[in-house]
């Protein structure tokens, strides 16, 4: 066994977000102990992703063709666009099965404390999509934090000239929790977002 090979893998793995040297080391030793086929499976999956996967030309979801499955599905409601920060957010919303419209993935969020730099994100592409017509509602589902809120406000402002309804997903208390443990900001936001019953 050459230590250089292991060392190289550790170094490669620690390039991944959230993987420090220690975790990378653990993963490398784990892969060492894996059956050949499984380890090859991981390596092949990475290569296949890089060879075949790309961002959808319309919504920037990940797909294997030029246009993703959601965008090309005629049964989806094309009058609605749900704006999310990352492809992983889209997957979570899809899992709820309560949304049948289209998406737009920004590939990040604005960071007002570091200067906005909106050109990093797919915001211009969203505006172009809306400008083409056919959209009635844009639902902004960015994260309920400062970055997500800033991104939402920035987009809402840009979409003002168009005849579309712009909405923001509701802030609420976590299900299963006890109000006693909610912090004042979360509680204030859920009071603001209350709705009438019955």
Partner 1 sequence: MRQVRLDDAAFMNQRSDALVLKTREYGDADLIVTFFARELGIVNGFAKSARKFRSRFGASLEPLSHVRLTLMGKEGAALPRITQADIIDSFRAIREDLQLLLHVAPLADFMAGMLHEHEPHPRRFDLFLAALRSFEKGAPRELVALAFRVKFLWMTGYAPRTGGCGRCGATFQGSFALFYPTQGTVLCRNCAPEGEAEAVKLGAEAVKLLETVKTRRFDELAVMPVSGEALAGAGRVIDAHVKRHG
- Binding residues for partner 1 (CB under 8 A): 17-18, 112-116, 145-146, 149-150, 153-154, 157, 174, 177, 181-186, 188
CB of residue 112 to partner 1, shortest distance in Å = 5
Describe the chain by its helix, strand, coil percentages, rounded to 5. 45, 15, 40
Nearer to Zn ion, 56 or 159 (CB): 56
Strand ranges, E, within the chain: 54-55, 62-63, 77-84, 101-105, 137-140, 165-168
CB of residue 69 to Zn ion, shortest distance in Å = 8
CB of 44 closer than 8 Å to CB of 36? no
Binding to Zn ion by CB under 5 A, coded x per residue (else -) over 30-69, reads: --------------------------x-xx-x------x-
Count of residues touching Zn ion (by CB under 5 A): 6
Four-CA torsion 52, 37, 28, 26, nearest 10 degrees: 110
Helices 21-33 and 3-13: crossing angle in degrees, nearest 10, is 120
71 binds, among partner 1, Zn ion, none (CB under 5 to 8 A by kind): Zn ion
Task: Give the binding site for Zn ion (CB under 5 A).
Answer: 56, 58-59, 61, 68, 71
């Amino acid at each position: 066994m050459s230590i250089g090979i292991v060392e190289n893998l550790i170094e490669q793995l620690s390039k991944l977000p959230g993987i420090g040297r220690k975790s990378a080391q653990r993963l490398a030793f784990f892969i060492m102990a894996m059956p050949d086929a499984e380890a090859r499976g991981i390596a092949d999956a990475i290569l296949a992703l890089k060879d075949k996967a790309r961002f959808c030309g319309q919504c920037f979801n990940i797909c294997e063709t030029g246009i993703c499955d959601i965008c090309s599905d005629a049964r989806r409601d094309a009058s609605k666009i749900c704006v999310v920060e990352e492809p992983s957010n889209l997957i979570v919303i899809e899992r709820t099965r309560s949304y049948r419209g289209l998406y737009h993935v920004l590939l990040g969020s604005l960071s007002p404390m570091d200067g906005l730099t909106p050109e990093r994100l797919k915001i211009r592409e969203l505006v172009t999509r809306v400008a083409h017509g056919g959209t009635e509602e844009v639902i902004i589902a960015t994260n309920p934090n400062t970055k997500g809120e800033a991104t939402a406000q920035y987009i809402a402002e840009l979409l003002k000239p168009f005849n579309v309804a712009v909405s923001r997903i509701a802030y609420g208390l976590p299900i299963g929790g006890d109000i006693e443990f909610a912090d004042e900001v979360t509680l204030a936001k859920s009071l603001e977002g209350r709705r009438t019953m019955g």
